[in-house]
Amino acid sequence: MDVQEKTYCRVRDLGLIAYERAQDDQKRHVDDVLAGGPQTILLCEHPAVITLGRLSDERHILFSQKYLEERGVPVHCVDRGGDVTLHAPGQLVVYPILRLAERGKDLHAYLRGLEQVAIDLLARFDIVADRFSGKTGVWIGPQKVASIGIGVRRWVSYHGLAINVNTELGLFDLIKPCGLAVSMTSVARHKKGNIDMGRVKQEFVDCFNRRFCFDV
């Protein structure tokens, strides 16, 4: 995954955006990159939403559709890898739209690279995080803090990773996260207070650039 020569990458902050709108934005950026446009990192947060990846088991949603509708939590089936996950305000969601053909077409290395970016980011907040062999994502001790699920079209990546910063963790009780018997945690829980999301985004972009050798 090491790339010596820096390449240009654009960063766009979408703020708090509906999940469907962000998916439309991703598709437009994938088309743009395929047409020769700049690689792009999209940063955002979403209102509460549950998404089901290609490998999802709907039984990992633990409440009825009616109950979720009453809570205002929609469910979307999406074309990423992985199982069920949840997005909500206070969670940093990152969609890298990258040319993986320039990185050896190695999906395993790309996933490990995304995990390492999250690990590097958490280290900047004095939090020790790690990965578990055979399980995609990032953990703080036994609790999961970051989930990853990607899609690829003609070796251009989309979807990406979600890092719990100030997320309301009780929302994860609605699902079996990633199909695992795991509890979720957040940066705020470990720092005992909410974290400035602006700083988190800046630190994330720097960690991402260093790991993937980009110049924004």
9, 44, 178, 207: which one is catalytic? Answer: 178
Q: How far apart are CA 181 and CA 169, in angstroms?
A: 15
Catalytic, 178? Answer yes
Residue 189 phi, psi (nearest 5): -60, -40
CA-CA-CA-CA dihedral for 109, 98, 19, 197, to nearest 10: 80
Closest CA to 145 of 181, 192, 183: 183
Contact 2, 212 (CB under 8 A): no
Q: What is the distance between the alpha carbons of residues 30 and 214, in angstroms, rounded to a whole number?
A: 18
User: Which residues are bridge partners to 157 per DSSP?
Assistant: 152
Q: Letter for the amino acid at 55? A: L
Q: Determine the Cα–Cα distance for residues 185 and 190; give it in Å rounded to an integer.
A: 8
Hey, which residues are catalytic here? Answer: 178
